[in-house]
Chain A
Amino acid sequence: MSTGNNFWTTIKKKYSIYLILIALFIVCSLANPNFLSVNNLTNISRQLAVTTILALGATMLIISGMLDLSSGSVLALAGVFAVSAYKTTGSLFIAIIVGILTAVICNIINALMISTFKAPPFIATLAMLTVSRGVALLFTKGQNILQLGHFTVLGQGSIGVIPIPIIFLVVIAVFTWYLLNHTRFGRSLYAVGGNEEASIASGINVHKVKYTAFIINGIFVGLAGVLFMSRVNAGLPNGAINYEFTALTAAIIGGTSFSGGVGTVGGTLAGAFIVGFLDNIMNLTNVDSYMQQIVRGSIIALAVIYDIHTRNRRANSMLGRIADKGATKK
């Protein structure tokens, strides 16, 4: 009723995720003194950079009503290709290009299956998950590629005090934010995810939107692959398993709605850091690794229930106003 109430509900709705992140940060600092150490924080951020970059790509896709289950596997494929390109040519630049190109091609195939041939995103990218992991293992004959030399600078190096992966992450996050908020493509992403048929009827080139989203996702995944292999100082064909789920978790916790049309860069960043802090503090406090999985899963469940719950409340309040047009989709 009162405006004060409305104000607080808006604040709560808009910023609750950031409040949770801050609260978690404080709790973690109190729970274990090592958490706040520079060493630990740079370590977390190096690890987090990779999954967060994946999460930003995932956010874009989920906003447009799609999904990418293949990002972890494609990351590994792009990573091992980049590593071997570096070993042959000795050029970091060529390695990065090879990594990006590999992931972009995989994602164009994803888009082809989904947009052109109308395959459900879940199944199409599940297929890509399996195939790209297979190619990575075939190409390396299942062996890790070792002794990368200077290649490690991307994942392990710093500029000043700032780890290089974090610089990549910041650039990519700003880029994604800009895309979503300041480009026709971004606006179209939300529209396509919110109602694809209405978007077509409004003259939006839905194919182009979907292909573009996957290509950009490919660039992110390729870079993440290079950063990952560089940080672990090896080309691991079996690396980054289940990273796609960490990315999805971050996006979901960050408020990206699987019904499409809703999601923000800020939310996903917060979601990714919440997941990262939790993992870290559980490691620092020696929580059993099996237990960690249970905690993670429960958080996903809670985040989704919260999302649906707030959505229903909105729908209910709509019902009152719309009255004549039942707004619930039952």
Chain B
Amino acid sequence: MKEQVKLRVSKIEKSFPGVKALDKIDFAVKKGSVHVLCGENGAGKSTLMKIINGIHQPDSGQIFIDEKPVKINNPIQARTLGISMIFQEMSYVPEMTVEENIFLGNLPVNKLGSVNWKEVRQRTNELLRAENLPYSPTTLLKDLTISDIQMLEIIKAISYNSEIIIMDEPTSAITLKEVEKLFVKIRELQARGVSIIYISHKLDEVFQIADEITVLRDGTVVESHPKEELDIETVITLMVGRKLTTTYPKEQVAIGEAMLQVENMNSPNVFHDINFHVRKGEILGFAGLMGAGRTEVMRSLYGLDARTSGVVQIKGQEVTIRNVRQSIDHGLVMLSEDRRRYGIIPMRSVKENTTLAYLKKVFYNFRNHKKVEKTIVSDMLAKMRVRTPTMDTPIASLSGGNQQKVVLAKWMIRNPDILILDEPTRGIDVGAKFEIYKLMTDLAREGKVVIIVSSELPELIGMCDRIYVMAKGTITGEINREDFSQELIMKYATGTLTSDGVN
């Protein structure tokens, strides 16, 4: 049974203007198996999936389902062939209800074309019950959390009776607990004979869930093996095409005097009683579950959101930070978790995005000093190893990892004392991740301060000197490097343990 091939693509080629996205891809998914696709950003994973889902047409090559050649012109056709795709960026209508979203584009209608809402309600209830989800069919999507919506997307796929479900980074925005729930679901689907194609950057997860792993690099299949024949190190090497020495380039550096001290910071209904400090040369982590208030604390500290109280000291001096400009002037900068919303100006060039936070460096004496700007930008891009055709290329046409590096470059040219990184490695490839870790280490060595908010515990444990854990809007624990463990962090994060020594 397991050996039966459900989906096969053969010699798929696809070019976009100026770039060959896929080059003679061969790839087969067995019935009832979980097939993981790994590869750096830009390796061609999503393009391949979009071809299978009918969004893109291949330039050449053939797709087979149950070994019969098929042509997939659009996602609707893909759906009738039993293929559905859950996107990394989820497609839903926030102002619509759960039931409307599930049946969007697939509403049961009578002969006159009017919708049979009774049937919709009934089938939604059945689905929700079958999947054990607690919300009602009439809940608005905007009132659900991202992970709820993710589950909904999966239900939607199930409601089409799909035989092949493609999941593109389904865990990038959900918590550990929800990942477990998702994996249980995947196992269930698998038992029903559904084939899953799973794209992820999180290799520990990949090895939990995969039956087979295919690694793509630069639009070609590097290797494809059953999971048992691979390990994490090998997969990373295959993905980047070179060997990365250590996963976390952590260095012990001398810790100096206090650089930043936050006392009694409050914002009603968002966070309360926030006290923490960080010293020169330290890499400080903020752990916690989604919704614990970590991002909100950082945004408020950075002057993006208001707060009702709180004293902030930088280098022993009390400072007033009411907006981002004041914050930047005090040498405190922040990389946001949502790059596309708070990080980049998509249609503007890499150059303009890089100098955006330091315009007076390139605009003075009543003109734009183009040469100065070019030098500053190209030096920083080289230092950050940004891969871009030219510095006049719109930033939106770079890969996620490279965009992230440009946003970091924007802050690095300001030479900040305190760098807050909110989920800096989310959705970017291993190579870029490693370079960001390297940058953190370099900054710490220079006596700067890095504060990193992350949901990936291995990353925090690997890179930080100290970790604060937050739960329900306040700091519940402070852990020093020698005491780091996932278990301890999770205990604080879930609120089952609160340390008294926090201040």
Which residues of A pack against B, CB within 8 Å?
1, 6, 181-184, 187-188, 190-191, 194-195, 197-205, 257, 259, 261-262, 313-327, 330
Task: From B376-384, B391-399, B468-476, give the one contacting chain A.
Answer: B391-399
B23 to chain A, nearest CB (A): 12
Nearest 5 pairs between A and B by C-beta? A320-B16, A194-B345, A184-B359, A320-B21, A324-B41
Instruction: Determine the distance from Cα of A321 to Cα of B398 in the docked complex, in whole angstroms.
Output: 7
Assess the B342–A321 pair: CB atoms within 8 A: no
Q: A190-B348, A201-B334, A323-B41 are in contact. List 19 more A-B contacts (CB 8 A).
A: A187-B352, A187-B368, A190-B345, A194-B347, A198-B343, A202-B410, A203-B327, A261-B348, A313-B17, A316-B16, A317-B18, A322-B397, A322-B400, A323-B44, A323-B45, A324-B41, A326-B87, A327-B346, A327-B397
Across the interface, A326 reaches (CB within 8 A) one of B46, B334, B397, namely B46
User: With an 8 A cutoff between CB atoms, is B1 at the interface?
Assistant: no
Across the interface, B341 reaches (CB within 8 A) one of A1, A187, A197, A323, namely A197
Q: Could you say which residues of chain A place their CB within 8 Å of the CB of B334?
A: 201
Assess the A321–B19 pair: CB atoms within 8 A: yes
A319 to chain B, nearest CB (A): 7
Across the interface, A324 reaches (CB within 8 A) one of B46, B304, B327, B356, namely B46
Number of B interface residues, CB 8 Å?
A: 57
Q: Could you say which residues of chain A place their CB within 8 Å of the CB of B366?
A: 182-183
Across the interface, A323 reaches (CB within 8 A) one of B46, B346, B357, B410, namely B46
In B291-331, which residues have CB < 8 Å from any A CB?
304, 324-325, 327-328
User: With an 8 A cutoff between CB atoms, is B68 at the interface?
Assistant: no
User: With an 8 A cutoff between CB atoms, is B344 at the interface?
Assistant: yes
Q: Could you say which residues of chain B place their CB within 8 Å of the CB of A330?
A: 91
Assess the B41–A205 pair: CB atoms within 8 A: no
6 chain-A/chain-B pairs, Cβ below 8 angstroms: A183-B363, A198-B342, A259-B347, A261-B346, A322-B397, A322-B400
Instruction: Determine the distance from Cα of A327 to Cα of B46 in the docked complex, in whole angstroms.
Output: 11
Q: Could you say which residues of chain A place their CB within 8 Å of the CB of B15?
A: 320
Assess the A182–B368 pair: CB atoms within 8 A: yes
Across the interface, A262 reaches (CB within 8 A) one of B46, B347, B357, B368, namely B347
In B352-367, which residues have CB < 8 Å from any A CB?
352, 355-357, 359-360, 363, 366-367
Q: Could you say which residues of chain A place their CB within 8 Å of the CB of B400?
A: 322, 324-325
A250 to chain B, nearest CB (A): 21
Across the interface, B367 reaches (CB within 8 A) one of A182, A198, A200, namely A182
B428 nearest CB neighbor, chain A only: A324
Given contacts A194-B346, A201-B304, A327-B396, contact A322 B324 (CB under 8 A): no
B43 nearest CB neighbor, chain A only: A323
Assess the B88–A326 pair: CB atoms within 8 A: yes
User: With an 8 A cutoff between CB atoms, is B61 at the interface?
Assistant: no
User: With an 8 A cutoff between CB atoms, is B477 at the interface?
Assistant: no
Assess the B347–A261 pair: CB atoms within 8 A: yes
Instruction: Determine the distance from Cα of A248 to Cα of B429 in the docked complex, in whole angstroms.
Output: 43
Assess the B17–A317 pair: CB atoms within 8 A: yes
Given contacts A181-B368, A194-B348, A325-B399, contact A204 B356 (CB under 8 A): yes
Q: Could you say which residues of chain B place their CB within 8 Å of the CB of A320?
A: 14-17, 19, 21, 47
Of the candidates B328, B348, B355, the one having the most CB atoms from chain A within 10 angstroms of its own CB is B348
User: With an 8 A cutoff between CB atoms, is B143 at the interface?
Assistant: no
A194 nearest CB neighbor, chain B only: B345
Instruction: Determine the distance from Cα of A103 to Cα of B343 in the docked complex, in whole angstroms.
Output: 36
Assess the B359–A187 pair: CB atoms within 8 A: yes
Given contacts A182-B367, A202-B324, A322-B399, contact A197 B342 (CB under 8 A): yes
Assess the A203–B324 pair: CB atoms within 8 A: yes
Given contacts A191-B356, A198-B345, A201-B336, contact A324 B87 (CB under 8 A): no
A328 to chain B, nearest CB (A): 9
A277 to chain B, nearest CB (A): 30
Given contacts A201-B334, A323-B399, A330-B91, contact A190 B46 (CB under 8 A): no
User: With an 8 A cutoff between CB atoms, is B427 at the interface?
Assistant: yes
User: With an 8 A cutoff between CB atoms, is B89 at the interface?
Assistant: yes
A260 nearest CB neighbor, chain B only: B347
Instruction: Determine the distance from Cα of A314 to Cα of B363 in the docked complex, in whole angstroms.
Output: 30
Assess the A6–B324 pair: CB atoms within 8 A: no
Instruction: Determine the distance from Cα of A314 to Cα of B348 in the docked complex, in whole angstroms.
Output: 13
Q: Could you say which residues of chain A place their CB within 8 Å of the CB of B348?
A: 190-191, 194, 261
In B45-71, which residues have CB < 8 Å from any A CB?
45-47, 50, 56
Q: Could you say which residues of chain B place their CB within 8 Å of the CB of A201?
A: 304, 324, 334, 336, 342-343
Q: Could you say which residues of chain A place their CB within 8 Å of the CB of B82?
A: none
B328 nearest CB neighbor, chain A only: A203
User: With an 8 A cutoff between CB atoms, is B495 at the interface?
Assistant: no
Q: Could you say which residues of chain B place their CB within 8 Å of the CB of A198?
A: 341-345
Instruction: Determine the distance from Cα of A322 to Cα of B43 in the docked complex, in whole angstroms.
Output: 9
Assess the A261–B44 pair: CB atoms within 8 A: no
Assess the A319–B88 pair: CB atoms within 8 A: no
Q: Could you say which residues of chain A place their CB within 8 Å of the CB of B398?
A: 321-322
Assess the B16–A321 pair: CB atoms within 8 A: yes
User: With an 8 A cutoff between CB atoms, is B193 at the interface?
Assistant: no
Assess the A6–B18 pair: CB atoms within 8 A: yes
A191 nearest CB neighbor, chain B only: B345
Q: Could you say which residues of chain A place their CB within 8 Å of the CB of B359?
A: 184, 187-188
B380 to chain A, nearest CB (A): 15
User: With an 8 A cutoff between CB atoms, is B42 at the interface?
Assistant: yes
